[in-house]
Amino acid sequence: MNDALSSHTYIRQLNFRLRSRLSDFLDSQDRWKAVIGSLRKPSGDPMYSQMHIRRFEGLQFHGRSPTHAFLEDWGTTNSTVGELVELLKSLGEVAAARVLLPEAEQDVSSEEPQSAPCSSQQEDGQTQPQTLTSVRRPKSPEENTEPGYSGFYMLPYSELKRITGNFDDRPASSGGSHLGEGGFGTVFKGCFHNRAVAVKKLNSVEDVPLEKLRDQFNQEIKTLQMLKHRNLVDMIGFSCDEHLCLMFAFMANGSLLDRLACLDRSYPLTWRQRCLIAEGIASGLEYLHNNHHVHRDVKSANILLDEEFVAKISDFGLTRALVNQTSTTMTTDRVLGTRAYMAPEALRGEITPKSDIFSFGVVLLEILSGLPPADENREQQFLIDIRENIEDEDEELTLHGFVDPKMKDWDLSQVECIYMLASNCLHNRKNRRPLISQVVSEIHGVVKENALKCPE
Ligand SMILES: Nc1ncnc2c1ncn2[C@@H]1O[C@H](COP(=O)(O)OP(=O)(O)OP(=O)(O)O)[C@@H](O)[C@H]1O
Ligand SMILES: [Mg+2]
C-alpha cells in the first residue's frame, strides 16, 4: 500500500500495483462500465460516450485491462483519489474503494451483505432467467429489487479464508475443510451466515492459464446469475480480490460419481433414487436448453446431490449461450469438456445442445451400471464402448450383467427403457438423438410407474 496516499492524491500518481488491484475488482463482470458511466462533466453530460466505452471494451480482446486504460485517461485531468473513492462507494464497490483508502466505509447499512431473494420461483421450481447486469455487492433490500440484480455476495478473499478455517486441507470428514479436487481448483467446506457452503478456490495450473480461468469464473457467475432452477446448483457468492473463489450451497451427498462408487462407504443408490436423479438432471438440462444454453461439461462429477438426493447440475464455467437464439449450433476452436463424455461433433469443436444429450447418455450408463465413465484398467476403457458388447450377440455381456450388482430393487422393463434411452442419446449422428423434452418425458414415465408400484 502507498503510505502517502490520501484523498487529495491525483489519480495519475497511483502506482501500477494499486491500479492492478483496482483492475482485479473492476475488470471482473465489466464493473468498470458502471464507474465510467457515472462520471460527469461540469455541464452534467456524461464524461465518456458509448464510443469511448466500446474503445475501452475492445482492449480486453488484446489482453489489456479496461480499468487500467480508463485510469490512465481520467488521470490526465486533475481527478483525485477522493473523487474515485466517493464514486466507488456510491456504486457499492466498497472493497475496491478500500484498496485506495482502507478506512472507506460503505454508505448504506452495515458491511455484512444481506441475503435477498434474487428471483421469483415459480411453482414448477423454474424461474425466468434474469437479464445480465454487473455483479455488485448487495446493499439494502430495496436496492435488490433492481432488474438483473445478481443476488450474489461479493466477499473479500480474507472472509472466505476465515469461514473455511484458513482453507484447512484436512478432509472435511476428519474435522478439516477439504471436500474435493477438480481440474480447476479445490473445494472447501465452510459456514456462512449459519449455512453450510462449499468454496471453490480456483487455481491456475500449467495447461490452464490465469486468463482462461478468469474467463470460466466470469462465465459461471454470468450463467448462474441468469438461470435459476431446482436442478441447478445454487451459487451464493464469490471473491475476486486476492484470489478467484466461488461459493455455493453445500451439497450434503457430494457428487453422483462418488455416490455411484460408494466412496466413504456410502450406501449404494437404489433404483428409485437413480431414476429420480436421472429425471432431475434431465429437467435441469431441459431448462438450460429451453433458455438457449449448452452446458458442455455434463458428467457425473458435475452432478451434486443435496441432503434429499435432489440432483443439481454444477460447473458452468464452460457453459455457452447460443449467440443466435434461432439457430442451435455454434463452433469453437477450443475443444474442452471431458473426453469420456464427449460427442463426436463436440470433439470437432461444435457447440450444440445435442452434445449435452450425448454426455447425458453416458451418465445414464453410469447410473445403470455403477461403473466409472473411463477406467484405464478395463479392457474397454470407455463406458460407451462396453455398450457395444451388450449389443453384440457374440459377446457374453447381457444387459442383466451390465446392471450395477450393488442395486437390488430394479425392474427389467424399466432398466431396458432407460438403456434404450441412453443408446438413443449416444447416437453418433447428432440429429438422431432425442430432444431433451423427449428424454424428460421418457424418464418421467419410469418415475411415475415406480411411484404407482410402491407409493411412499
Ligand atoms: N457444492 C458442493 N457441495 C459439496 N461438495 C462439493 C460441492 N462442489 C464440489 N464439491 C466436491 O468437490 C469435488 C470437486 O469438484 P470440482 O467441480 O472442483 O471438480 P470435478 O467436478 O471433479 O472436476 P472438474 O474440475 O473437471 O469440474 C466434487 O467432486 C465434490 O465432491
Ligand atoms: Mg466439477
Q: Is 27 a catalytic residue?
A: no
| pLDDT for res 143 | 29
Question: Per-residue confidence at 178, pLDDT binned at 50, 70, 90?
Answer: very high
Angle of the 50-59 helix axis to the 66-74 helix axis, nearest 10:
130
| pLDDT for res 26 | 85
| pLDDT for res 35 | 87
- How far apart CA 422 and CA 403 sit, in angstroms, is 13
| pLDDT (mean) for 332-360 | 83
* Structural domains of the chain, with CATH: 11-100 (1.10.533.10), 139-249 (3.30.200.20), 256-453 (1.10.510.10)
* Whether the CB of 301 sits within 6 Å of ligand 1: yes
DSSP letters for 217-254: HHHHHHHHHH--BTTB--EEEEE-SSS-EEEEE--TT-
**Ligand 1 nearest atom to the CA of residue 251, by list position:** 3
Does 329 score more than 70 pLDDT? no
Percent of the chain whose pLDDT exceeds 90: 43
Instruction: Give me the chain's average pLDDT, please.
Output: 82
| pLDDT (mean) for 405-425 | 95
Q: Return the minimum-mean-pLDDT range out of 51-55, 256-260, 407-411.
A: 51-55
Backbone angles phi, psi at 153, to 5 degrees: -85, 130
| pLDDT (mean) for 254-263 | 97
Does 140 score more than 70 pLDDT? no
Ligand 1 pocket: which of 304, 338, 359, 363 to mutate (most atoms <8 Å of CB)? 304
Cα 186 to averaged position of ligand 2 atoms, centre (Å): 10
- How far apart CA 117 and CA 456 sit, in angstroms, is 32
Question: Per-residue confidence at 32, pLDDT binned at 50, 70, 90?
Answer: confident
* Whether the CB of 300 sits within 6 Å of ligand 1: no
Does 323 score more than 60 pLDDT? no
| pLDDT for res 98 | 85
| pLDDT for res 314 | 96
- Distant-in-sequence, close-in-space partners of 428: CB < 8 Å, separation ≥ 6: 344
Does 110 score more than 80 pLDDT? no
Which amino acid is located at 7 in the chain?
S
| pLDDT for res 118 | 25
Element (H, E) at 422: helix 412-425
- Residue 114, SS3 per DSSP: coil
pLDDT by residue (tens digit) across 220-257?
888 888 888 999 999 999 999 889 999 999 999 999 99
Q: Which of 181-185, 280-284, 320-324 has the highest mean pLDDT?
A: 280-284
Does 137 score more than 80 pLDDT? no
* Whether the CB of 241 sits within 6 Å of ligand 1: no
More confident residue, 121 or 293: 293
Q: Return the minimum-mean-pLDDT range out of 73-77, 135-139, 285-289, 295-299.
A: 135-139
Catalytic option among 297, 315, 356, 404: 297
Does 434 score more than 80 pLDDT? yes
Cα 198 to averaged position of ligand 1 atoms, centre (Å): 9
More confident residue, 145 or 6: 6
Contacts 24+ apart (CB under 8 A), 11-16: 11/71, 11/74, 11/75, 11/79, 11/80, 11/81, 11/84, 12/75, 12/76, 14/71, 14/75, 14/81, 14/100
**Nearest ligand (C-alpha, residue 233):** 1
370: region left, alpha or beta (phi > 0 left; psi from -120 to 50 alpha): left
DSSP letters for 278-339: HHHHHHHHHHHHHTTEE-S---GGGEEE-TT--EEE---TT-EE-SSTT---EE-S---S-G
